[in-house]
Every structure is written in C-alpha cells, then in structure tokens.
Amino acid sequence: MQQQSFPDFSGHKIQDIQLLEILGHGAAGSVYHAMQTSLDREVAVKIICLDLLAKDYQIYLERLKREAKLAASLEHPNIVSIYNAGIQDTFFYIVMEYVKGETLQKRLEQVGHLPEVTAWEICLQLCSALEAAYTLGIIHRDIKPANILLTRENIPKLTDFGLCKRYDDLGLTQPGTILGTPNYMSPEQAAGIPSDFHSDMYSLGATIYTAITGHLIFESS
C-alpha cells in the first residue's frame, strides 16, 4: 500500500480516550499520543481509516484484527502492550502502551550509529522478546528500526505486528506474496516464499548491523 495523506483525528475521542497529537505516520495510517481519562494514563492509538483501504478493505481489516489479537497475547517487557481494539465510525483503532522515547530509526537519523555495546544490549533484549513470541508460535515478519521503540533508558520495545502470523496460519498470505520492508526483509521474504522465525532472525541481524555501522547491510553503489 502506498503512502498517502490521512485525516488528522487530533482532538477526537474514542470512548474514554482523548486523541492528543500525531506521533507518526505509516503506510496505512497514523499513531496518536492519547489520554485514557478513566484510568488517567497516557496511551498510544493506531488509527486506520477503513474507507481509504479501497479493494484491500476486507483483507486488511482481517490483518488488523489479527494484529491486535496476536499482539495482545504477548506479555513481555520488550514488546509494546496492547490494551484494546475496535471499530468506530469509519476507522479501526488499536489502543496500546505509550512509550516515552523514540524509534531506533529516529535515533539513528540523529546520531548516525550506536555504540557497539549499546546495540548488542538492544539485540539481546529483542531476542528475548522474539523468543517469547515464538513460544506462542508467532513470527513478526517486519522487524526494522522503525518498528523498535527505545525508552529514555534505551530499553527496546518491539511494536507493529501488522504482518505477524502463526507458523501454521496461511489463510491471509498467498504463496508469492511479498511482505516486509526491502532493506531488512530476508531473502525468502523477498522471493515470496513462506517464512518462519529464521526470517525474523535475519531482519534483526540486518537491523543491528545498521545500528552499529550506520549503513544498510546491502547498499547500491
């Protein structure tokens, strides 16, 4: 799906949640900083406008529901927690843990690269998160710097399980379908071959390589 312009829902309410400001945009929607007034806590809310999904509407809606359900089943200090999800008016929303910090992508854009020790500490914590996911049979399939949030204490939290699936779930992905981000996807993903946890390991390795060197693992000359 191509990047496009999405409506700004800042100031809107979803039940007891007040949307405050946009934190960032993705290929399919926006993420907002919000306040859940009933619990007096900050949250992040992903908003997907269903009327902009066109012919992909039903397929993508199923992926959104799956993302919320699978991610909510994961409990780990290095995985962003999912609190709630649903449909309101013309958009789908996912309410999740608000992480005070920035993405690894943004950090690298600011500093170029990380100290090797810091990068490996982040890597070990993410390996622990992925192990917890694999224990439940879940693979992420889109690990990259933009999907890793760093707290102010440099604790990484893996987010955006929009392409995740269970090992035995082939219902929403047809053979030959390419999913992921080119600079970090594994060779089998690039070829449209069904992937398993080895693909996540490849993507994590490519991500840590970029974090340490400041360069992509493969760059055009």
For residue 202 the two structure tokens come to 């490849």
Q: Which residues pair with 158 in a beta bridge?
A: 79, 148
* Helix/strand/coil for 159: coil
Q: Which of 142, 160, 168, 200 is catalytic?
A: 142
Give one word for 58, left, alpha or beta, with left for phi > 0 and alpha for psi -120 to 50.
Answer: alpha
Task: Quote the CA–CA distance of 158 and 162 in Å, as a whole number.
Answer: 12
Residue 105 DSSP SS3? helix
What is the rounded end-to-end Cα distance, in angstroms, of the chain?
A: 27
CA distance 159 to 92: 17
HSE-up of residue 73 (Cα within 13 Å, Cβ side): 17
Is residue 142 annotated as part of the catalytic site, yes or no? yes
Catalytic amino acids?
142
